[in-house]
């Protein structure tokens, strides 16, 4: 007869402990396949427990396929493989130390100082209190109407874009949206990406099995002449502030791009408007989408850059004629942004906080950019470098006078505690970006604390 | 000389209005390519505005490529295409009316009544107050350590799963995670999905360009004998509570599945543990992952079902040997779940609210299920139907005695205000699911208000 010491069950219920013991005996082979188990009544008497306890244990083992019942004959062991080792309790998370740099020009951090956190927190509390349980219901696949409406109005006011709320699709980050775009437009198409450019876009397309062609970027962005010959069908560009070169595509080229798109079946331009909000000289550059009379432009932008990296809200503006296909193919996807964030962001936009935030940040970033440039020009680097592309965006270029190769400088910097990022790191094919040009992400820099690092950097430039 | 009425500028700045006017003249062709613009000084005098105003307008037009400057000669119109129509202000969101059903057995709503919203709201406020601006920083690609740790501990306590926090990957919904899995495992593989089954999984795989094979489900889930001959390499199953049949895969079959996975290069089992938390008879069925000594199981689960549909948090548990490949291929993706939700959920788990919620909901759902079944058995349907698969999950099956085809009944129901969903709707190939079997999602049903609808349904069953 099966004998278990139920005193050892700790906090477990009796039936649960019995279930575990019998299961262990089956898995370890002590109870063999086909073996008949004692009747419930007999086992209960033997172990001095209630019949119901044995009944529950047997029922669970039957549900999981360890035992089978034969009417009026009792329970038998199923044919089950034998296991050796048991499960161990999980280990804890180990946290990795981040390296402290003397000077970090790559600047993964920063850019969140100006975020009106108390406003955001207040709006979140408001949404929680006012919307209550409504927040638990599933939201439409393309985002809540209030947020799409607010984005549509923001785009009209600030970017001159005329888009109905139904053209807006909200999603958890631009990378996620690129994934959706491949699923919408097709992975059999050829995607043209800027070189040098935003590497993640290319990576997402490639991970989706789409072929990418690289389009060289000059001082005015991608040259439209190359489009036809490249064979690309979907063009991914950032005409308003190219990353990382900072190039602005002039109107004539934009028109040529649009003509190219209209000149072939199923051609589209994905306009990545990332970073365009922070233009420090003159007004913002109007989006390509605003002159797209042929409906070939899919506009993409994100709030992760303008508000906070931890807030994953980005959006698409789809041409009207794609809406039905989108709904049909991708409308089954649940919205990836939680309802609370959507409602909070909608209010943040509606009540004008976002535009005020942008205006404030424009002033803040301009000031910081000036201070960083002043720090460079007040260091031994002065006269050995030129600032480029500083009229917009959260990075600028710094052309260095040095005979050393970029990778040599990067290694030297690494050893000396100066973290560098060169334009050439963003090139897809060798030679598409100039050498000796740093890409300086300045929002996280402390202008007052750069002196030592800049002196170290200046010394690194000599062979 | 260019003449514009600056009184008509409304709220626009003077330079902005002037910029718009000149741009319009260029785009409409009134100013022709190559044409020289008046000098800044001359135009300023002509329009009675400051020179700086003209300067700003010209600079912006130059930045956008409408004008080019020749040193000492002035500004000229660039060659630019001519446009006809201007942008119209966007329209408003139109809201669609949802149909009111006499009886909705498909039940898209419901299931959020028991959510401890005030606790969630309090934890959110706490996180906002205590974490403050820390919440703005980018979070690790796989989720914040606190949440992964809490999930790991929850899995150990409640599902017997031993997974280190570093094996956990948090993402915005299971569909998003399926996308990542295809990118991790490869779209050239063949994915085996259950038939009848959870259609969205198959849809995501297909949208990713992966080939799917359909594996028939019997009362014990997918038969392992079919795995070899199907040619499938990645098996997507829900062995603990198959959707929609409710089948539980017995231990012997599980072991065979694992042997299949270990028997071939690159074979994996995606264990979709959706809905397994709500088992009403006995204990929960242990996850397949707990007996996976060969590390072939990728476990997937979601909080959207157990907490609220609008909360998009799901997670993977990856086998250790996949971690490096995951980081390398997909580690560049930003986390798709906002930091606030991650911290709030981590606390909700750590402080035991989640387990208490599950226990409460188990009681709540059992009660509701019993009431719904009682309502059915108290109606004219009694004696003409059998309840199946009601021991777990948030739906059960109702086999109907009727000679009518499912699609005829669905149409009749539609006309009579009764919304029906049949098992056959979840089949991928004809014949894989039995006819005349309703899938009843009961969390959103009001047992007291079903009488009339059930009587109507009973009448529909006669030819």
State pLDDT tens for residues A31-52. Answer: 888 888 989 998 998 888 999 8
Q: Which residues in chain A are closer than 8 Å to B142, comparing Cβ atoms?
A: none
Angle of helix B339-350 relative to helix B117-131, nearest 10 degrees?
120
Q: Give me the half-sphere count of Cα atoms (radius 13 Å) on the Cβ side of residue A142.
A: 23
Mean pLDDT of A55-73: 88
Measured between beta carbons, the chain B residues lying within 8 angstroms of A240 are none
Q: Report the C-alpha gap between B391 and B397 in whole angstroms.
A: 11
**Pairwise CA distance, residues A327 & A332, whole Å:** 8
With an 8 Å Cβ cutoff, are A176 and B175 in contact? no
Q: Is residue A434 part of a domain?
A: yes
Q: Of B353, B380, B414, which marks where a domain is finished?
A: B353
Q: How many CB pairs under 8 A join A and B?
A: 276
With an 8 Å Cβ cutoff, are B166 and A92 in contact?
no
Q: Which of A353, A370, A398 is the last residue of a domain?
A: A353
CA distance A242 to A219: 9
A81 interfacial to chain B (CB closer than 8 Å)? yes
Whether A166 is covered by a domain: the verdict is: yes
Is position B96 within any domain? no
Is residue B397 assigned to a domain?
yes
pLDDT given for residue B111 in this prediction: 64
Whether residue A337 lies within 8 A of chain B, CB to CB, comes out as yes
Alpha-carbon distance of A221 to A214, in angstroms, equals 13
Q: Is A218 left (phi over 0), alpha (psi -120 to 50) or beta?
A: beta
Output the CA–CA distances (angstroms, integers) from residue B156 to A87, B221, B269, in the order listed.
9, 25, 20
What is d(CA B273, CA B392) in angstroms, rounded to the nearest whole number? 13
Residues A326 and A365 in one domain: no
Rounded Cα distance, A291 and A293, in Å: 6
- B387 and B275 in one domain? no
A268: domain CATH number?
3.40.640.10
Q: Is B1 on the interface with A (CB under 8 A)?
A: no
Q: Are residues A304 and A401 in the same domain?
A: no
Residues of B in contact with A292 (CB under 8 A): none
Beta bridge partners of B397: B388, B439
User: How large is the average pLDDT for residues A177-198?
Assistant: 96
Reading the block at residue A396, the tokens are 């600028």
pLDDT tens profile A405-446: 998 999 999 999 999 999 998 888 888 888 999 999 898 899
pLDDT of residue A390: 84
The pLDDT value given to residue B110 = 60
On average, the pLDDT of chain A sits at: 90
Q: Which of A250, A290, A315 is the best mutation test for B, with the most CBs of B within 10 A?
A: A250
B206 located within any domain: yes
Digitized pLDDT (tens) for each residue of chain B, 463 residues in all: 788 888 888 888 888 889 989 988 888 888 888 888 989 998 998 888 999 899 989 988 888 888 988 888 899 998 888 765 544 445 544 445 567 889 998 875 566 778 888 999 999 999 999 998 888 888 999 999 999 999 999 999 888 898 999 999 999 999 999 999 999 999 999 999 999 998 899 999 999 999 999 999 999 999 999 999 999 999 999 999 999 999 999 999 999 999 999 999 999 999 999 888 888 877 788 999 999 999 999 999 999 888 888 888 999 999 999 999 999 999 999 999 999 999 999 999 999 999 999 999 889 999 999 999 999 999 999 999 999 988 888 899 999 999 999 989 999 999 999 999 999 988 888 888 889 999 998 988 999 999 999 999 999 998 8
Whether the CB of A129 is below 8 Å from some CB of chain B: the reply is: yes
Same domain, A309 and A405: no
Highest mean pLDDT among A350-354, A359-363, B20-24: A350-354
What per-residue confidence (pLDDT) applies to A373?
95
Is A96 in the B-facing interface, judged by CB distances under 8 Å? no
- Going along A96-195, which residue ranges are E strands? 103-104, 168-171, 190-195
Residues A139 and A283 in one domain: yes
> CATH no. for residue B429?
3.90.1150.10
Residue of A nearest to B339 (CA): A310
Which residues of chain A lie closer than 8 angstroms to B176, CB-CB?
Answer: 172, 176, 336
Last residue of a domain, one of B353, B374, B398: B353
Can you give the residue range of the structural domain that contains A52? 6-77
A267 pLDDT band (50/70/90 cuts)?
very high
* Beta strands across the sheet bearing B437-441: B385-388, B395-400, B437-441
pLDDT reported for residue A93: 46
Q: Is residue A238 part of a domain?
A: yes
- What CATH number did the domain enclosing A31 receive? 1.10.10.10
| A291/B contact by beta carbon, under 8 A | yes
The count of domains in chain A is 3
Using alpha carbons only, what angle is made at residue B448 by residues B445 and B451, rounded to the nearest 5 degrees? 90
> Cα distance from B149 to chain A (closest Cα, Å)?
6
**Beta strands A437-441 and A395-400, pairing class:** antiparallel
Q: What is the pTM of this model?
A: 0.83
pLDDT in tens, B283-334: 788 999 999 999 999 999 999 888 888 888 999 999 999 999 999 999 999 9
Give yes or no: residues B122 and B216 share one domain: yes
> Quick one: pLDDT band at residue A114, thresholds 50, 70, 90?
confident
pLDDT given at position A87: 46
Same domain, B349 and B361: no
Are A137 and A256 found together in one domain?
yes
Q: Does A223 touch chain B (CB under 8 A)?
A: no
Same domain, A269 and A370: no
Provide the pLDDT for residue A387: 94
Residues of B in contact with A148 (CB under 8 A): 93
Contact A310 B136 (CB under 8 A): yes
Determine, for residues B124 and A128 on separate chains, whether the beta-carbon distance falls below 8 Å: yes
CA distance A300 to A14: 59
Q: Do B384 and B331 belong to one domain?
A: no
Out of A268-272, A379-383, B9-13, least confident range: B9-13
* B312 and A CB contact within 8 Å: yes
Quick one: pLDDT at residue A268?
98
* DSSP reduced 3-state for B237: strand
How many whole angstroms from its chain centre is CA A236? Answer: 17
| Same domain? B37 vs B134 | no
User: Is B348 in contact with B120 (CB distance < 8 Å)?
Assistant: yes
Closest residue in chain A to residue B157, using alpha carbons only: A89
Q: Is residue A377 part of a domain?
A: yes
Taking an 8 Å cut-off on Cβ atoms, the answer to whether B337 and A312 are in contact is: yes
Chain A stretch 144-203, residues whose beta carbon is closer than 8 A to a beta carbon of chain B: 145, 148-149, 152-153, 155-156, 160-166, 172-173, 175-176, 179, 183, 187, 200, 203
**CB pair distance less than 8 Å for B125 and A129:** no
User: Given a cut of 80, is residue A282 above it in pLDDT?
Assistant: no
Q: Are residues B51 and B131 in the same domain?
A: no
Tell whether A450 is covered by a domain.
yes
């Amino acid at each position: 007869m099966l004998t278990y010491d139920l005193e050892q069950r700790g906090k477990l219920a009796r039936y649960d402990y019995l279930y575990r013991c019998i299961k262990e005996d089956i898995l370890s082979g002590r109870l063999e396949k086909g073996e008949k188990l004692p009747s419930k009544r007999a086992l209960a008497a033997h172990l001095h427990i209630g019949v119901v306890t044995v009944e529950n244990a047997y029922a669970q083992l039957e549900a999981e396929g360890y035992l089978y019942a034969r009417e009026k004959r009792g329970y038998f062991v199923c044919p089950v493989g034998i296991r050796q080792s048991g499960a161990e309790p999980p280990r804890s998370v180990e946290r990795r130390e981040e390296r402290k740099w003397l000077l970090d020009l790559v600047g993964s951090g920063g850019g969140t100082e100006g975020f009106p956190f108390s406003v955001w927190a207040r709006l979140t509390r408001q949404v929680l209190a006012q919307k209550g349980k409504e927040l638990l219901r599933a939201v439409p696949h393309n985002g809540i109407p209030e947020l799409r409406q607010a984005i549509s109005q923001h785009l009209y006011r600030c970017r001159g874009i005329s888009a109905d709320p139904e053209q807006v699709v909200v999603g958890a980050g631009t990378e996620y949206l690129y994934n959706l775009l491949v699923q919408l437009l097709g992975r059999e198409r050829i995607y043209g990406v800027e070189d040098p450019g935003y590497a993640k876009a290319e990576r997402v397309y490639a991970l989706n099995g789409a072929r990418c062609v690289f389009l060289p970027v000059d001082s005015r962005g991608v040259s439209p002449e190359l489009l036809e010959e490249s064979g690309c069908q979907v063009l991914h560009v950032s005409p308003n502030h190219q990353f990382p070169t900072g190039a602005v595509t002039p109107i004539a080229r934009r028109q040529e791009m649009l003509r190219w798109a209209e000149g072939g079946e199923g051609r589209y331009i994905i306009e990545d408007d990332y970073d365009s909000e922070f233009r420090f000289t003159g007004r913002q550059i109007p989006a390509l989408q605003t002159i797209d009379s042929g409906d070939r432009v899919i506009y993409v932008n994100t709030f992760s850059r303008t508000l906070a990296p931890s807030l994953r809200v980005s959006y698409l503006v789809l041409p009207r004629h794609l809406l039905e296909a989108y709904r049909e193919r991708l409308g089954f996807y649940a919205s990836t942004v939680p309802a609370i964030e959507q409602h909070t962001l909608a209010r943040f936009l509606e009540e004008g906080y976002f535009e005020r935030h942008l205006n404030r940040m424009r002033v803040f970033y301009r000031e910081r950019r000036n201070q960083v440039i002043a720090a460079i020009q007040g260091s031994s680097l002065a006269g050995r470098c030129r600032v480029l592309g500083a009229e917009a965006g959260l990075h600028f270029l710094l052309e260095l006078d040095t005979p050393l190769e970029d990778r040599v400088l990067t290694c030297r910097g690494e050893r000396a505690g100066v973290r560098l990022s060169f334009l050439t790191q963003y090139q897809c094919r060798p030679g598409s970006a100039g050498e000796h040009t740093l890409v300086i992400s300045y929002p996280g820099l402390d202008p007052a604390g750069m002196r030592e690092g800049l002196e170290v950097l200046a010394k690194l430039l000599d062979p």
